[in-house]
């Protein structure tokens, strides 16, 4: 699996330039952006979403722990969370809590 360093080496630019070309293309010359995008294609680079989320400090995850999934209240609550968060790119998950108070 190719990483951002592989792209930089292939394009003949720094890792910082690759990052800028991908995240803030307006800050990179069109010629450099073309070199970077060609390198991305040639090495098969795909961003590691876990690393991106870790570095940004934002996961966009909404986790709801419930004592039981058999109770209709918790099912209705999850449906409300799902509808409310759907337009914001938030991943939501419900998990039964197995621990004690």
Radius of gyration over every alpha carbon of the chain, rounded to an integer in angstroms: 21
pLDDT digits (tens, 9 = 90+) for 11-46: 999 999 999 999 999 999 999 999 999 999 999 999
pLDDT higher than threshold 70 for residue 98: no
In this structure, are 9 and 49 located in the same domain? yes
What mean pLDDT do residues 70-90 have? 73
Question: CB 39: neighbour CB atoms within 10 A?
Answer: 21
Q: Are residues 64 and 78 in the same domain?
A: yes
Where are the strands (E) in the chain, listed by range? 61-66, 91-96
Helix axes 4-11, 15-23, angle to 10 degrees: 100
Q: How confident is the model at residue 96 (pLDDT cuts 50, 70, 90)?
A: low
Q: What is the pTM of this model?
A: 0.57
Specify whether 46 is located in the same domain as 69: no
Q: pLDDT tens for residues 38-69? A: 999 999 999 887 777 777 777 777 777 777 76
Cross-strand partners of 93? 63
**Number of domains forming the structure of the chain:** 2
Domain membership of residue 47 (yes or no) is yes
For residue 57, is it left (φ>0), alpha (ψ between -120 and 50) or beta? Answer: left
Question: Do residues 4 and 13 lie in contact, with contact meaning Cβ atoms separated by under 8 Å?
Answer: no
Can you give the residue range of the structural domain that contains 90? 60-96
For residue 89, what pLDDT is reported? 64
Q: Residue 38: inside a domain, yes or no?
A: yes
Residues ≥6 apart with Cβ < 8 Å to 63: 92, 93, 95
pLDDT band at 101 (very low <50, low <70, confident <90, very high): low
> Is 74 contained in some domain?
yes
């Amino acid at each position: 699996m190719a990483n951002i360093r592989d792209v930089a080496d292939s394009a003949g630019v720094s890792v910082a330039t690759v990052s800028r070309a991908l995240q803030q293309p307006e800050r990179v010359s069109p010629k450099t952006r073309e070199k970077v995008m060609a390198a991305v294609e040639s090495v098969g680079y795909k961003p590691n979403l876990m690393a991106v989320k870790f570095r940004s400090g934002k996961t966009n995850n909404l986790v709801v722990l419930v004592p039981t999934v058999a109770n209709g209240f918790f099912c209705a609550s999850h449906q409300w969370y799902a509808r409310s968060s759907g337009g914001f790119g938030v991943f939501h998950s419900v998990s039964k809590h197995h621990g004690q108070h």
